[in-house]
A and B are shown apart, each in its own frame.
Chain A
Amino acid sequence: MEIGGEYLEILGSSILMTDYLEYSNALFREGLLDGQFIQLQMLRDDSNPDFVVEVVTLFFEDSQRILNELSKTLDEQNVDFKKIDANVHQLKGSSSSIGAQRVRNACIAFRSFCDAQDVESYGFCFFVLFPDQMCLRCLQQVKQEYLLVKNKLEALLRLEQQIVAAGGVVPTLNDVS
């Protein structure tokens, strides 16, 4: 008996959907994404099918801009810590809005370590002496988390595209946060 094309199509998209669920579950388990990402997916509908892709793309563009700004500011002779704080605050906000949990947490850590006014409250001498170096370390951490989540999100969205192309429907995850 010949296996019908329709059957293969269903099989193909089922495998993809299973892959998708496994992949996204792993991302949530590892804390890369949180419930806010699911909130975004819940907003997607037939009249706005590209909503998640659009928001994520905006996030990538905006984050890259902020990371470049941060590198530039930290490179200067007299580091403007207020500017650093403002930029990290922005990135914290946008990562929180799309559910990029680890990026958000890295930003929170960044602000607590590099707030020049709070530095005195820490007993560590080297914080007080080298706040800009501490900031550089924090920036590295934020960059790392950002590149990781960017990578994973791109893969996730690619999987979604494949599911749709195979005639399947992207599974809706349940937000249990």
Chain B
Amino acid sequence: MGLAAAEAQFHVLAVDDSVIDRKLIEMLLKKTSYHVTTVDSGRKALEFLGWNEGNSDEAIFSPKNNQEVEVNLIITDYCMPGMTGYDLLKKIKESAVLRDIPVVIMSSENVPSRINRCLEEGAEEFFLKPVRLADVDKLKPHIMKTMGKETLNHENQDNDKEIVETEIQSQQQQTPQSNINNNKRKSMDEGLSPDRTRPRYNNGLTVMSN
């Protein structure tokens, strides 16, 4: 149950110039228990992520800004007027602060060279439109990758002890530095405190005694 609460916290930013496709992707993501924000252009996506043209990365991404807008995955259409999905992908991967956010590209056209270009530039996946629930189900591993390996161990009861140990370790590691990775891990830790892992042991024992 702790994991379900953590899932609801994952925030996906969806970028598409089509109003119909925005509605569709929003519903698909909500069904998969993600918190969703949709925007209709690459430029608006970057604005949402806190990026401002002409400023250095250090100037904009103060820890305060970063905590207000936490995005765990960006899913974007390829063909958009102005800034394409590929242009957006490039900008994200070029940014020291944004590059760790997994990016997924969607396109209505199956063009192998396009797909390869996007994957080479760092996109995690390439979905052909129309996107389906089965596609959205593939997003979790990419989000989890950036969240840290501790969370994957929750699926296995035997590893619960390990998690408590890991979290104690990571709490010790957290120094007063304004390190963005630590901020991310911190928000995950808040959702998966050792207290929440203990009930699973109890539940397991109850089931076994029945």
List residues of chain A with CB under 8 Å of any chain B CB. Answer: 36, 39-40, 42-43, 48, 51, 54-55, 58-59, 62, 86, 89-90, 92-94, 96-99
Contact = CB atoms under 8 A, between A and B. Distances in A.
A54 B31 CA distance: 16
B129 interface: yes
A62 B19 contact: yes
Contacts of A43: 27-28, 31, 133
A97 B130 CA distance: 5
A39 B20 contact: no
Nearest to A44: B27
Nearest to A43: B27
A98 B27 contact: no
Given A43-B28, A43-B31, A93 B23 contact: no
Size bin of chain B's contact surface: 10 to 19
B159 to A, nearest CB: 34
Provide the main secondary structure of the chain B interface: helix
A94 B19 CA distance: 9
A98 B20 contact: yes
B110 interface: no
A58 B20 contact: yes
Given A92-B108, A93-B108, A39 B18 contact: no
Contact of A97 (B18, B31, B79, B133): B18
A43 B23 CA distance: 11
B24 A93 contact: no
Nearest to B107: A93
